[in-house]
A and B are shown apart, each in its own frame.
Chain A
């Protein structure tokens, strides 16, 4: 990879990073707090890339003149017969001469993935790969519920699960709540019930943990990954006490279910 290409590559990565930092697209991958850092990092890369392109354009001599094993090996890899290929170039798989490191070509992978595929936020498939256990906490007392909006208390799935499983005052008893998440199948359940699921993310989607609520009483089957806004009431499982939470997710009996578009922030933080 010569200096022009290195510069172009860094310009491209920097540009994509700035775009990710300034738009909601990045929220499928990282927490919102990382967005300013992404923007700054992108700008730094743009400056460094532009400097590289400028240097190559001015044809500044590149310091230590080292023969470059890169050209040989890449032609070789491309299946092109090459006279130099066998003549004792010891190559550390790295191609470190005047041209930049050959491993840098791998950087095109995330670049292309973001530009072309724009992977969606984690969904039902990823949730099904997790252990399905409930989120644990040692907190046993909770502040009063937020005030209801339009007849229902809006709650995140994590807070709902905490209050349902651990709250000694049972603050949610008989309360109509409003939850947002996507549908995912209940493992080993062929009936009409499904899980309302959302990922909780602390830094990036790789550390995402699925939080689920089991939905009863929805007559309509919901396809996995359909985003839903559900109003309903919490139904404690038989025998459940705050000091011995069930390993199964809490249950909500749905009173109204509305399909919604995917929220701008697909995860809870």
Chain B
């Protein structure tokens, strides 16, 4: 699996034996039969397989893995449904027309618009992919993608509930996350390379009825983002089981180490932005500022998000975007934390 251009732009020689115009004829691998075979094998081997899962570490891994994917599923479906609706109903040039031309206006506007999407991070990535494919400037779409999971009302209320009597935490979270989204968007519009975005991944299936366009786009986005989400879930579950949380206690005393440790924890835990405040409130051995960094980093960059972004925008893009977001989120959390907390 090499990093390279999309198949559409690649000069692939057509295969004479399988003219693309006849989809049925060109099918070489009977994938449905393969899927059926896989399921049958799994059912037949069930006794042997369940023996493998008697080990408590493997059990814990599988519980966390299934939890991450099950929890993300409704939000992912919401995201791909919206993505499908955009593809079916919004004319290609519409978004570019309603957004201001100047990035200095468009990026903060898109960041603030994120407050209107109640959900957690898994849904906002496919939506951003679709907005980009529909003509929104990538910088604005990224600002929306980063801010939506962090500053929407549901998350802010959850944060207020998790930190009772400390409304400044909610305010700090809102400011730091919005600042992260806007700064990353502006940095991307100034220095980013839009050519890194693999647009073929958010291909709109044109033609046919609106229903056909909607259902094809939503299905495509679901299978695609879903596969990458699973990859993120596997990684996060593995790290959660391999690295015990008790190592955190050893670094809590030193403020700089604490900030780094909680940033890493946010990336590794890959938990929903509606729940992270409750985890942060329990990390009492850490300073409030380092916990703010945890809250700002989590919804912007974590393992499952990087996997999703790699899926929607391409791996070359994700490799650059993730470090940019991480550094901006840590800096913004530190600054706002020093100022407000």
Query: Which A residues contact B (CB, under 8 angstroms)?
Result: 1-10, 12-13, 17, 20, 26, 28-30, 34, 37-38, 40-41, 44-45, 47-49, 51-52, 55, 59-69, 71, 73-75, 84, 87-110, 112-117, 119-126, 129-133, 135-136, 138-139, 202-207, 209
CB-based contact B203/A96 at 8 Å: yes
What distance in Å separates the Cβ of B12 from its nearest Cβ neighbour in chain A? 5
What distance in Å separates the Cβ of B163 from its nearest Cβ neighbour in chain A? 9
Contact partner of B68 (CB less than 8 A), chosen from A7, A75, A204, is A204
A98-B20, A203-B71 known; A132 and B271 CB under 8 Å?
A: no
Closest to B242 in A: A129
CB-based contact A123/B226 at 8 Å: no
CB-based contact A209/B282 at 8 Å: yes
CB-based contact A136/B60 at 8 Å: no
A67-B12, A119-B53, A131-B249 known; A92 and B3 CB under 8 Å?
A: yes
List 5 A-B residue pairs with CB atoms under 8 Å apart, sorted by A's residue number.
A1-B223, A29-B63, A92-B6, A121-B63, A138-B165
Closest to B78 in A: A41
CB-based contact B35/A104 at 8 Å: no
What distance in Å separates the Cβ of B231 from its nearest Cβ neighbour in chain A? 6
Q: Does B10 contact A (CB under 8 A)?
A: yes
CB-based contact B227/A103 at 8 Å: yes
Given contacts A41-B77, A90-B4, A130-B245, 17 further A-B contacts (CB under 8 A): A1-B223, A41-B78, A44-B77, A63-B208, A67-B15, A73-B1, A94-B311, A96-B8, A102-B227, A104-B224, A119-B59, A119-B66, A120-B63, A125-B59, A129-B244, A206-B71, A206-B240
Q: Please indicate the chain A residues that have their CB under 8 angstroms from the CB of B73 in the complex.
A: 13, 17, 38, 41
Which residues of B, 41-57, contact A by the 8 Å Cβ criterion?
A: 42-43, 46, 49-50, 53, 56-57
Q: Please indicate the chain B residues that have their CB under 8 angstroms from the CB of A123 in the complex.
A: 56, 59-60
CB-based contact A94/B201 at 8 Å: yes
CB-based contact B284/A136 at 8 Å: yes
CB-based contact A119/B63 at 8 Å: yes
How long is the Cα–Cα vector from A43 to B7 in the complex, in angstroms? 33
What distance in Å separates the Cβ of A80 from its nearest Cβ neighbour in chain B? 10
Q: Please indicate the chain B residues that have their CB under 8 angstroms from the CB of A117 in the complex.
A: 49-50, 53, 62
Which residues of B, 14-29, contact A by the 8 Å Cβ criterion?
A: 14-15, 20-21, 23-24, 26-29
Q: Please indicate the chain B residues that have their CB under 8 angstroms from the CB of A40 in the complex.
A: 74, 77
Q: Does B96 contact A (CB under 8 A)?
A: no
Q: Please indicate the chain B residues that have their CB under 8 angstroms from the CB of A20 in the complex.
A: 70
Contact partner of A132 (CB less than 8 A), chosen from B237, B246, B311, is B246
What distance in Å separates the Cβ of A128 from its nearest Cβ neighbour in chain B? 8
What distance in Å separates the Cβ of B56 from its nearest Cβ neighbour in chain A? 4
How long is the Cα–Cα vector from A103 to B315 in the complex, in angstroms? 13
Which of B31, B76, B81, B226 lies at the interface centre, i.e. has the most chain A CB atoms within 10 A of its CB? B31
Q: Does B222 contact A (CB under 8 A)?
A: yes
Chain B: interface size category = 35 or more
Closest to B275 in A: A203
What distance in Å separates the Cβ of A101 from its nearest Cβ neighbour in chain B? 4
What distance in Å separates the Cβ of B226 from its nearest Cβ neighbour in chain A? 5
Q: Does B248 contact A (CB under 8 A)?
A: yes
CB-based contact A110/B228 at 8 Å: no
- Closest A-B pairs by Cβ, 4 of them: A203-B275, A103-B227, A125-B56, A204-B71
How long is the Cα–Cα vector from A103 to B39 in the complex, in angstroms? 18
CB-based contact B67/A29 at 8 Å: yes
Which residues of B, 251-282, contact A by the 8 Å Cβ criterion?
A: 269-272, 274-276, 278-279, 281-282
How long is the Cα–Cα vector from A52 to B205 in the complex, in angstroms? 13
What distance in Å separates the Cβ of A222 from its nearest Cβ neighbour in chain B? 16
CB-based contact B7/A97 at 8 Å: yes
CB-based contact B246/A74 at 8 Å: no
Closest to A77 in B: B1
Closest to A44 in B: B77
What distance in Å separates the Cβ of A66 from its nearest Cβ neighbour in chain B? 6
CB-based contact A103/B228 at 8 Å: yes
How long is the Cα–Cα vector from A112 to B158 in the complex, in angstroms? 33
How long is the Cα–Cα vector from A93 to B310 in the complex, in angstroms? 11
Contact partner of A66 (CB less than 8 A), chosen from B20, B42, B43, B46, is B20
How long is the Cα–Cα vector from A119 to B61 in the complex, in angstroms? 9
Q: Please indicate the chain A residues that have their CB under 8 angstroms from the CB of B249 in the complex.
A: 131, 133
A28-B63, A139-B164 known; A116 and B49 CB under 8 Å?
A: yes
A103-B227, A119-B53 known; A91 and B7 CB under 8 Å?
A: yes
A100-B224, A110-B233 known; A90 and B35 CB under 8 Å?
A: no
Q: Please indicate the chain A residues that have their CB under 8 angstroms from the CB of B158 in the complex.
A: 202
Contact partner of B74 (CB less than 8 A), chosen from A38, A84, A131, is A38
A103-B227, A203-B271 known; A26 and B234 CB under 8 Å?
A: no
What distance in Å separates the Cβ of B275 from its nearest Cβ neighbour in chain A? 3
Contact partner of B227 (CB less than 8 A), chosen from A75, A92, A104, is A104
